[in-house]
Chain A
Amino acid sequence: MSLLEVRDLTMQFGGLTAVERFGLTLNEGDIVGLIGPNGAGKTTVFNCLTGMYRPTSGEICLFSKRIDGLHPHEITQLGMARTFQNIRLFKDLTVFDNIRIAFHYQINYSLACAVLRLPGFTSEERLILGKTDELLKIFDLYDQRNEIASNLPYGEQRKLEIARALAANPRVLLLDEPAAGMNPHETEELTKLIQWVKDRFQLTVFLIEHDMRLVMGLCQRILVLDYGITIAEGTPHEIQNNRAVVEAYLGEEAL
C-alpha cells in the first residue's frame, strides 16, 4: 500500500515556479532520497508536503487521505513528521523538554483536568515522562537530558531533532538535509542511525540530502530535482549513470 502519494504538485511564488508537476509514491518501508542543486525546490516540496505552504495545484494523499490544504499540525497528527534544514529546536529549553513537548498531541487530559490536577493528569504525565526518557536513552542523549538544547554540539542537535520528530509518533519521517554541516565520520554514524531508527520504528523515510555517500548508501530510490522539475528517478545505480543528472548536478562534483 502506498503511504504517501503526490501527484502533479506545483508551487508558484508570484510568477516564479519553484516546483513543477512533482510526483512521488512512497510505499511502506521505503527510504527515498530527493537530491538536486541548491535552489532546485527540494525544501519547497517538503514545505508543501507538511502543510507549511499551500501548493498552487496538485494532490497530496497521506494514507489515502487528501492532506493538501491541511495545517501542519494536522498533518503531523496524521502521522508524518519532519526535521528542518536549519535545525529548529526549542533552543532555550532542555533536551528533555524538547522531546516531551512533541508528545503533546498524544495527551488526552483537558485543560480543566490540568488546572484541577485530577488523577488523569498525573498518570498521563508519568507516562510521557517514561516515554521521553526511553527515547532519550535510545538516542544516547539521556546523560544530557537537563542540558539546554542550544548547548549541545551540532551533531547531537541534529540527533535531538530526529528524536523529537519521532516523539510525535510518525509513520512517515521527512528529513531535510540531516547530514548538513557534519564531517564524514559523523555522516557515517548518522547513516547508520537513520537505518537503525527506520527499522526500529518501522518508518517510511523521505529525505533531502546533499551528501552523496549518505544518499547512495541509504536510499532505495532517488529523485533528482532541477529548477523545480524532476529530471530523473531511479535506483542509486541508475542515478549515478544518468546523463541528465550528471550534467545538471553530479557534473559539478565530478569535475
Chain B
Amino acid sequence: MRGEMAVRRFGPYRQTLAWVVAVLAAVGLLAVNVGVYNGMIDFYLTGVLVIAWINIILAVSLNLINGFTGQFSLGHAGFMAVGAYVSGLLTILLNWPFPVVLIIAGLISALIGLFIGLPTLRLRGDYLAIATLGFGEIVRVILLNLKITGGPRGLGGIAPKTTFFSAEIVALITIIIITNIVRSSHGRALVAIREDEMAAEAMGINTTRYKVMAFSIGAAFAGIAGALFAHHQMFIDPRSFTFQRSIEILVIVVLGGLGSITGSIVAAIVLTILPEALRGMAQYRMVVYSLLLIGLMLIRPQGLFGTKELQDFLGYGITKALPKGSARQVASNNGGGDR
C-alpha cells in the first residue's frame, strides 16, 4: 500500500529511473573494480575515478554541514587544504604509514573545524557563508606565506600513495559513517536545527554543540579528502584550494540535493565524469557549471533528489523526509501491527 503511494507520488517513471540508476551503480561499481584490478582501465581514467571518489567524500561531508544541519559553509576547500598540506608534510618529512597520515590529516582538520566553528556558527545563513569563505581564503593566504609549505611554489614530491582502491575504501567508509550518523537521534538533532533552530533548542537539543559537531566531522572528512588528493596529485599549491574549489563542491551538493547522501554521490560522479567527457570544450566547463547552477536554482532548487534518497524512489521507501532511522521497522509495524 505504501508502495502504491510512492508510485502515485513520484510517478512510475521516476521509480523506473531510480531502479535504472541503482542497477547501473551496482554494475558500474563492480565493472570499475574489476577493470582497475585487471588493468583494463588505463592510468588516466583511473586517475579520473580517484578524483570521483575524492569528490564523493567532499560532497557527502559538506552535505552533512550544509544539507542536513542547514549551516551554510563555503570553507570546505580550506579544510581540504589543511588535510592536504598536513598529510603531504607528514609523508615527506616523516614518511609515516598512509592510513596513519590520513587519520592525522582528518583529526587536525577536525580540530581546526572546531576552532573555527565555535565562534562562527553563531552566525546565520549568508553571514556564516561569508565568514567560512573568509576562513578558507585566510588559510590560502597563510599557505602562501609559510616557508614550510613552499609558499606560492607549492609542495612537490609527495609519494603517490593514493590508489583507486584506497580512495574507494575511504569513500565507502565516509558514506557509511555519515549515513549512520544521519540516521540516528544525533542526525535527527542536526535536521531539527536545519528545520527550526529555536524549536530544536526548546526541545532540549544543544544546538551549539551539534552544529560544531557537524562542522568538525565535515571538516575531518574534507581533510581526509585533501590528503587523498595530495597523494594522488603528488604536488599541491595554494591555487588548488581557492574558494572556487569550495563552490565546485557546493555545486555537487546542491545538484544532488541538500540533505540527500545518494544525491551527493550521484552528482559527484556525474560532475567528475562529465567535464572529462566534454574535454574538447574544456574552456566552456566553467560556463556550463555556472549555467547549471543558475538553472538548477531557478528550475529545481531542491536539486535532483531533494532531501530524499535513491532508495526512497525504488518503491519501498516509507518515510518521505529524512532522517528515517527505522524506515523498515515502521514498515513492519504498518504491515502487521495495526490494531
Contacts and interface: CB of A to CB of B under 8 A. Distances in A.
A207 to B, nearest CB: 16
A124 B188 CA distance: 14
Interface stretch (B71-79, B126-134, B160-168, B194-202): B194-202
A178 interface: no
B10 to A, nearest CB: 15
A47 to B, nearest CB: 10
Q: How many of chain B's residues touch chain A, expressed as a range? A: 35 or more
B189 A101 contact: yes
Main secondary structure of the interface of B (DSSP, over half): helix
Contacts of B321: 92-94, 97, 148
Interface stretch (A1-9, A105-113, A243-251): A105-113
A76 B203 contact: yes
Given A88-B198, A90-B195, A100-B188, A117 B204 contact: no
A90 B333 CA distance: 24
Interface string B176-195: 01001100111111011001
Interface in B299-322: 307, 318-321
Contacts of B192: 90, 101, 104
A72 B196 CA distance: 14
Contacts, number: 123
Given A101-B188, A148-B321, A73 B206 contact: yes
Interface stretch (A13-21, A35-43, A125-133, A196-204): A125-133
B205 A90 contact: no
Contacts of B191: 90, 93, 97, 101
A93 B191 CA distance: 9
Interface in A67-103: 71-73, 76-77, 81-82, 84, 88-94, 96-97, 100-103
Nearest to A170: B204
Given A90-B200, A124-B185, 5 more contacts: A72-B198, A84-B199, A91-B195, A101-B200, A129-B330
Interface of B: 177, 180-181, 184-189, 191-192, 195-196, 198-208, 213, 307, 318-321, 323, 325-326, 329-330, 333
Interface of A: 50, 52, 71-73, 76-77, 81-82, 84, 88-94, 96-97, 100-105, 107, 109, 111, 114-117, 121, 124-126, 128-129, 133, 146, 148, 164-165, 167-168
